[in-house]
Amino acid sequence: MTNLVSRRQFTIEWAHCDPAGIVFNSRFFEYFDWGTWTLFEAALGVKPPDLAAAFGIMGLPLVDASARFVAPARFGDVVELTSQVSEFRRSSFEVAHQLMVRGALAVEGRETRVWAARDPADPLKIKGQVIPPDVVKRFQAP
């Protein structure tokens, strides 16, 4: 069984770049965030603001992220971002991202996120919740 993969093509805009026309490194983390939310919307069938009503959670907070920069992405490049959950744990999960430029790997990234709800003991805090098995199942590609 393979994991569901989200794919998004877009063109690198000037606002994404440094003065040399190369994507500024922090922008890749913005792209990874796009990929995660696109993936979850495709798998779960709800938009991010509707997660609370649909699943009783407040969101999917990011607790760790990293990237490995292999080649530059430049102004005007048409790129493809792929994102997939690489591992589900009890209340957290890993999302793997790859950004391709002209079919070659430019950047790979990883995010750790938590399936989180408000802490019943203190509603100002959030707390990891067990990820429901039916949610995990939705990330398995048909």
Nearest 10 degrees: CA dihedral of 79, 4, 108, 74?
10
* Tokens describing residue 34: 């796009």
Residues 6+ apart with CB under 8 A from 82: 5, 6, 7, 35, 97, 98, 100
Give tens-digit pLDDT for 125-137.
Answer: 999 999 999 999 9
Residue 14 in this model has a pLDDT that exceeds 70: yes
CATH class for the domain made up of 6-133: alpha beta
| Nearest by Cα to 27 from 114, 99, 105 | 99
Using 50, 70 and 90 to split pLDDT, how confident is the model at 1?
very low
Report the pLDDT value the prediction gives residue 123, as an integer from 0 to 100: 86
What is the pTM for the complete model shown? 0.92
Give tens-digit pLDDT for 67-117.
Answer: 999 999 999 999 999 999 999 999 999 999 999 999 999 999 999 999 999
The residue with tokens 């992405």 is 73
Report the pLDDT value the prediction gives residue 104, as an integer from 0 to 100: 98
Q: How far is CA 26 from the centre of its chain?
A: 14
Q: How many Å apart are CA 73 and CA 22, to the nearest integer? A: 6
